[in-house]
Amino acid sequence: MSNLAASTDGVPPLALQTEFWNEWNLSHLASAKRDSFQLQQREVAYAAAARVAAALEDERPLRILDFGCGTAWLGASMTSFGDVTGIDLSPAAIEHGRQEFPDVHLIAGSFTDEALVGPFDLIISSDVIAHVSDQQEYILRAADLLRPGGIFLLMTQNGFVWRRSSQLRPQGPGQIRNWPSLKALREMLKGGGFQILCIGSIQPAGDRGVLRVLNSRSLRGVFKLLGLGTFWRTLLERLRVGRDFTIEASRR
């Protein structure tokens, strides 16, 4: 049987997943220029790292893991806090990252890879969990690699928003797409031995249904004219209609 044949449980074979993410990462993340969404993700991750560092009594450098790092652009922005390791299924993305970000230790492999050795102080997972077949196992692996009291920063697609977005592209061959609900994320984190510290969302999006109204140019224009553009954006993020959920959880 070919290693690209479909598995009996409907999960794309690893070779096909790898092929998809090789192409996707080099198409979307290989550019040195970051868009507004990526910059906001970086702000969230930087703030989390700063809180972890401030809580350490011995002021030692942090050990940070970027789970599903792609080209490692996000993990590379954390190197001022300590040692950063990144792992991704895409060898092409890892090779690109090694050239662009030599200060990050990069591994081509799955999150189950034995080359990952904890404990880490902070694990960052950005838009990854929706693309793994066993999401609970993914969270348990994060818990296993974190020290007690360590922080898991989980950023993942908000299915409510993406199902109401005309920007959503068809699911690609080899791509797993299973957006967990906020309720499911809470339950999985609790089952993994985590205590949720805060939940938010970033970058309001969507242009169908109620989101068509909330994100309309006319409504945003009114708030901007009143000097309340930032207020409106922040309000929508607090209402959790941003394109990504952001969850900080502490390992018990």
Question: pTM for the complete prediction?
Answer: 0.94
Q: What is the pLDDT along the chain (252 residues), one digit of tens a residue?
A: 223 334 446 899 999 999 999 999 989 888 878 999 999 999 999 999 999 999 998 889 999 999 999 999 999 999 999 999 999 999 999 999 999 999 999 999 999 888 899 999 999 999 999 999 999 999 999 999 999 999 999 999 999 999 999 999 999 999 999 999 999 999 999 999 999 999 999 999 999 999 999 999 999 999 999 999 999 999 999 999 999 999 999 999
- Domain of residue 119: give its range: 14-199+244-251
Say if 116 falls within a structural domain. yes
Burial 150-177 (b: 16+ CB within 10 A, else e): bbbbbbbbbbbbbebeeeeeeeeebbee
Residue 58 has a pLDDT of 86
Say if 208 falls within a structural domain. no
Say if 43 falls within a structural domain. yes
Q: Read off the CATH number of the domain in which 180 is found.
A: 3.40.50.150
Strand partners, 195: 250
Residue 59 has a pLDDT of 84
Residue 32 has a pLDDT of 75
- Total domains in the chain come to 1
Say if 221 falls within a structural domain. no
Residue 8 has a pLDDT of 42
Say if 235 falls within a structural domain. no
Residues near 72 by beta carbon (within 8 Å), at least 6 away in sequence: 66, 84, 86, 88, 93, 94, 97, 100, 101, 104, 106
Say if 164 falls within a structural domain. yes
SS3 217: helix
Say if 4 falls within a structural domain. no
Residue 9 has a pLDDT of 64
Say if 2 falls within a structural domain. no
